[in-house]
Amino acid sequence: MQVDTASGGAAGGHGREGRAWALGALGSFLLLLIVSELFCRTLLGTGALYGLVDASGTLTSVAEVKARARAFAGRQAVGLLGDSVAGVTALVQHRVPRARQRSLTAELDRRLTPRGVLPLSADGLLLPDVEGLLETLEAPPRDVILLLNFRMFARSWETEASAGSRDGLLPVAMAGPREAPSAAAAKGRLDARLYESAAGASSLFLVTQVLRARLFVPTRKDAIERGLARLLPAAEDDDLAASVLRLRIAPIYEDRDWNPASPAFSSLGRILARRRSAGRTLVALVPQNPSETAAIAPERLQSNRDLLKRTVVNALGADSAWIDLSDAMPQDAFLDHCHLTGEGNARLAGTLAAAFVQPGRAAP
Amino acid sequence: MSRAFRRGLLAGAAIFLAVVLVLILSGDLSSSGFIYVDF
């Protein structure tokens, strides 16, 4: 009898300790969750997050796009729309020192002080993405610089299914019935929807994803390579990597007429129509490496550039500010086919800032 | 405050930190459907 009572008492003691442990764990977890959520909400609401973290070249979710626009609204920052040319990814991948201070976004931000730049560019962004992005903003920036890249008009993006890079930014005009997705695509869309819901519901989750993008680990392979690069002497690019790059960029510099009926041009028309009644809009065709454009017949290259100019000028009207910089940089200003070195970005930012501030001086 | 409760507090904080670190450091960003790797 005595033994039973003792073991029962010991079991009761363990049970009480277990409950106290669980209560303590749950309490501290919830407390930290609430405090962190409030802290992250303040970071986003005041815009302090983007003073601490450079977010150029990445957009992690629609919720973040909205939060970022709200954060920059107070100082009427100039919206910078475009693809990886504006961001820091290529500089980081090419291990340029102080890459984050030398991106086009950073250079332009300094030149447009005190208003600065609202970074709305992202790697691989296409024109339907830009259109969708502008639609998601409750209060789009009054003034905008839109960077156009040859890549946006490539044949690869001419079908409705391939015209946008991110389902979350699908514009209204392209949101009609689509083909039934494959099982893998359906799962991908469900994952993306869950991710978007989490970003919309929790500021803490949203901030962790901004930090995740800031660490720039698009793939585990890249993270390992960058880690090894710090330890090992720089190796020459191998032939395989060079061949893969050539295959990837070949469609961008294909010798063909751009298609004015493509989703890219349709989207550009709608973007510019929205901007016509808004504030100042500077549209720029960004520099291309002359070693790549040499593959295009000169008269075809010129007719494509003229088509783009007509599209912009006709859509924006007399107030349009169009600047074609596609042949403005020498070969040594490039890291690759279209991404500029730090010095190249500084020169491009100077030209864009001058054209934006004094649109009359923009090169035709 | 019992020893078990204090240990629980520490464990809860450690679990929270681990969750945040996993969210920041783990996985492939392209799986979000928003980060575009091939630029």
Q: Give the tokens for residue A197.
A: 């819901």
Size of interface A-B (CB pairs under 8 A): 122
pLDDT in tens, A316-335: 876 668 999 999 999 999 99
Q: From the candidates B2, B5, B19, B39, which should be mutated to test the interface with A, based on the most A CB atoms within 10 A?
A: B39
Q: Where are the beta strands (DSSP E) in chain A?
A: 78-81, 117-119, 144-148, 281-285, 321-324
Q: Give the tokens for residue A59.
A: 């957009």
Q: Cα A333 from chain centroid?
A: 22
pLDDT in tens, A117-176: 999 998 889 999 999 999 999 888 999 999 999 999 999 888 877 888 887 888 888 876
CB contact under 8 A, B30 and A32: no
Beta-sheet pairing, A78-81 with A117-119: parallel
Give the class (CATH, top level) of A72-198+240-361.
alpha beta
Kindly state the DSSP code that residue A340 receives in the 8-state scheme. Answer: B
**Ramachandran angles phi, psi of A283, nearest 5°:** -110, 130
Q: Give the tokens for residue A233.
A: 């002497």
User: Are A283 and A322 in contact, with CB atoms under 8 Å apart?
Assistant: yes
pLDDT at A186 over 90: no
* Distance of alpha carbon A208 from alpha carbon A354, whole angstroms: 36
Q: To the nearest whole angstrom, how far is the Cα of B19 from the nearest Cα of chain A? A: 10
Q: In this predicted structure, what is the pLDDT of residue A361?
A: 45
pLDDT-based confidence at A364, cuts 50/70/90? very low
Which ipTM was obtained for this model?
0.84
Chain B residues with CB under 8 Å of A200 CB are none
Q: To the nearest whole angstrom, how far is the Cα of A248 from the nearest Cα of chain B? A: 9
* Distance of alpha carbon B5 from alpha carbon B28, whole angstroms: 37
Of A23, A84, A192, the CB nearest to B32: A192
* Distance of alpha carbon A213 from alpha carbon B28, whole angstroms: 10
User: Are A271 and A134 in contact, with CB atoms under 8 Å apart?
Assistant: yes
pLDDT-based confidence at A262, cuts 50/70/90? very high
CB contact under 8 A, A195 and B10: no
Which helix or strand (DSSP H or E) is residue A321 part of?
A: strand A321-324
User: Are B34 and A166 in contact, with CB atoms under 8 Å apart?
Assistant: yes
CB contact under 8 A, A219 and B11: no
Q: Is the peptide bond before A140 cis (omega within 30 degrees of 0)?
A: no
Comparing C-alpha atoms, which of A117, A141, A131 is closest to residue A56? A117
Chain A residues with CB under 8 Å of B6 CB are 24
Comparing C-alpha atoms, which of A255, A253, A273, A256 is closest to residue A265? A273
Provide the 10 A C-beta neighbour count for residue A235: 9
The residue to which tokens 């839109």 are assigned: A146
* Distance of alpha carbon A127 from alpha carbon A113, whole angstroms: 27
The burial class, CB within 10 Å (0-12 / 13-18 / 19+), for A335 is: middle
CB contact under 8 A, B12 and A27: yes
